[in-house]
C-alpha cells in the first residue's frame, strides 16, 4: 500500500462531520476493486462487503471514520463570516489559519487575526473563543450573503505530504489514516480463505456523535468489530505516561470497551508476528466508534486498534508510516485467523 499516495488523495478532500460526501465518494471508489459490494447508508457512510462464501458466516465489522473536524457558517458581519465548530476544534489553532468554505466552487478564507503590534500583552497570552473570531473571505456584505449562505460548512485548508523520511503530515489523518489501513487490510486478504463475512465501514459524523457508526452497525448487525482510530502521539511537550511513541507500533486498547478475548488475540498475534505493540488502558469510553457499536442491538464484541498521532485535531496531524503498515499487517492476520480452531467470539 502506497500510504502517501492514498492519503494525499483522501486528505485533500473536505469532509467535515455531516458533510462527508466527497471523502465518502473517494472512499467508495477505492473500495470497489477490493470487495464484492459497495453501498452507502442513509447517513452517508460507505460500506464495503467482502464475503467469505460460507453460509450464515459471522460478520466482522472494521470501522474507520471519514469525517474531520470543521466549521459551519452562522452569520455575516461586514463581509466577514461568523462560524461555529463541527467537532472538537481547538480555538488556539484558528487565528491566521487558511480555511476552505464549501460552496460551489469553494471559497478560500482566512481566520482574522490582530497583528501583535496592536494587541495588549495580556491579550497576546490568551486564545480567543470561537464566538469572537471571524473568517475573512475578501467579499462585501452583499457578496458574502449571496455566495456563502448561513449553514455552509468549512474545513482547514490542506492535504497530506511527507515529513522527513518516515512521517506523514496533514489534515484529517484522524481518521483517514485509519481508513487507508482498512484498504491495506483488504489488499493483504485478497484471495485468502476467511471464516467471516468482512464489512469495512467508512463512517460519518464520528467527530460530532458517532451517528454514522451507530446506524451502520445497527443495519449490519455484526458479531464483532474492530474500530481503527488514532491516539495521542509523543512529543517533547507531552506526558510520556499519556502518549504513545510514533514508530513504536500499533496501540491495542484494553478496558471495558474492549472485549478481553479480542484484545488478547491481537496481543498474541503481535507476538507471533514479532511485532512491537503498545497498550492503552481505556478505563471508560474509548472515545472511538467502538463505544456506541459495543451496545448496538444485543451487543457487539469490540476491540480498539489505534495509530499514534501527534497534534490531533489540528490542521497538521502527524503519523509514522511504519505504524500504518504494522497496524494493517496485524489486523489482516487477525481477520485471516478468526475461527481457526476456536469460536469466533
CATH fold of the domain at 3-68+171-337? Aminopeptidase (3.40.630)
Cβ 224 vs Cβ 262: under 8 Å? yes
Query: What's the pLDDT score for residue 237?
Result: 82
Q: Checking DSSP bridges between strand 107-111 and strand 135-136, what pairing results, if any?
A: antiparallel
In order of 76, 98, 174, 176, the CA distances from 7 in angstroms are: 34, 20, 11, 7
Residues 6+ away with beta carbon under 8 Å from 293: 61, 63, 213, 214, 217, 222, 225, 227, 300, 302
- With pLDDT > 70 as the criterion, what percentage of the chain qualifies? 94
> Does this chain's domain 3-68+171-337 share its CATH topology with 70-156?
no
Task: Based on DSSP, count helices (H) and strands (E) in the chain, helices before strands.
Answer: 9, 17
The whole-model pTM stands at 0.94
Question: Known catalytic residues?
Answer: 206
Superfamily of domain 70-156: Peptidase M42, domain 2 (2.40.30.40)
pLDDT digits (tens, 9 = 90+) for 200-209: 999 999 999 9
Domain boundaries defined on the chain: 3-68+171-337, 70-156
Query: What's the pLDDT score for residue 117?
Result: 42
Given strand 224-232, what is the order of strands in its sheet? 37-40, 46-50, 197-203, 59-65, 224-232, 301-309, 251-254, 278-281
Tell me, rounded to whole angstroms, the distance of Cα 80 from its chain centroid.
30
Nearest Cα residue to 7 out of 179, 157, 155, 164 = 179
Burial (CB count within 10 angstroms: exposed 0-12, middle 13-18, buried 19+), residue 74: middle
- pLDDT mean by block of 10 residues, the chain; 345 residues: 96 97 98 98 98 94 98 97 96 92 97 61 70 94 97 97 97 97 97 96 97 97 97 88 94 96 96 97 93 95 97 96 98 92 62
Amino acid at each position: 500500500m502506497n500510504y502517501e499516495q492514498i492519503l494525499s488523495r483522501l486528505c485533500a478532500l473536505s469532509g467535515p462531520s455531516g458533510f462527508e460526501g466527497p471523502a465518502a465518494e473517494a472512499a467508495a471508489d477505492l473500495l470497489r476493486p477490493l470487495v464484492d459490494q459497495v453501498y452507502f447508508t442513509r447517513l452517508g457512510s460507505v460500506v464495503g462487503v467482502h464475503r467469505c462464501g460460507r453460509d450464515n458466516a459471522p460478520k466482522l465489522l472494521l470501522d474507520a471514520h471519514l469525517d474531520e473536524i470543521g466549521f459551519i457558517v452562522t452569520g455575516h458581519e461586514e463581509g466577514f463570516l461568523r462560524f461555529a465548530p463541527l467537532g472538537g476544534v481547538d480555538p488556539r489553532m484558528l487565528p491566521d489559519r487558511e480555511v476552505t468554505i464549501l460552496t460551489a466552487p469553494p471559497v478560500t478564507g482566512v481566520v482574522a487575526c490582530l497583528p501583535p503590534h496592536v494587541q495588549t500583552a495580556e491579550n497576546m497570552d490568551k486564545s480567543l473563543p470561537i464566538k469572537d473570531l471571524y473568517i475573512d473571505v475578501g467579499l462585501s456584505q452583499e457578496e458574502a450573503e449571496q455566495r456563502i449562505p448561513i449553514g455552509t460548512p468549512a474545513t482547514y485548508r490542506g492535504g497530506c505530504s511527507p515529513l522527513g523520511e518516515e512521517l506523514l503530515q496533514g489534515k484529517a489523518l484522524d481518521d483517514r489514516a485509519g481508513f487507508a489501513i482498512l484498504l491495506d487490510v483488504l489488499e493483504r486478504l485478497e484471495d485468502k480463505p476467511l471464516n467471516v463475512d468482512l464489512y469495512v465501514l467508512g463512517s460519518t459524523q464520528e467527530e460530532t456523535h458517532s451517528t454514522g457508526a451507530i446506524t451502520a452497525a445497527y443495519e449490519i448487525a455484526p458479531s464483532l468489530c474492530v474500530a481503527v482510530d488514532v491516539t495521542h502521539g509523543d512529543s517533547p511537550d507531552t506526558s510520556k505516561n499519556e502518549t504513545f511513541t510514533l514508530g513504536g507500533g500499533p496501540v491495542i486498547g484494553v478496558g471495558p470497551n474492549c472485549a478481553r478475548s479480542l484484545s488478547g488475540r491481537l496481543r498474541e498475534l503481535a507476538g507471533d508476528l514479532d511485532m512491537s505493540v503498545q497498550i492503552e488502558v481505556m478505563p471508560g469510553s474509548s472515545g472511538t466508534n467502538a463505544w456506541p457499536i459495543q451496545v448496538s442491538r444485543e451487543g457487539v464484541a469490540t476491540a480498539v486498534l489505534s495509530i499514534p498521532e501527534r497534534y490531533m485535531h489540528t490542521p497538521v496531524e502527524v503519523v509514522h508510516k511504519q505504524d500504518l503498515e504494522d497496524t494493517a499487517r496485524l489486523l489482516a492476520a487477525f481477520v485471516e485467523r478468526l475461527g481457526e480452531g476456536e469460536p469466533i467470539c
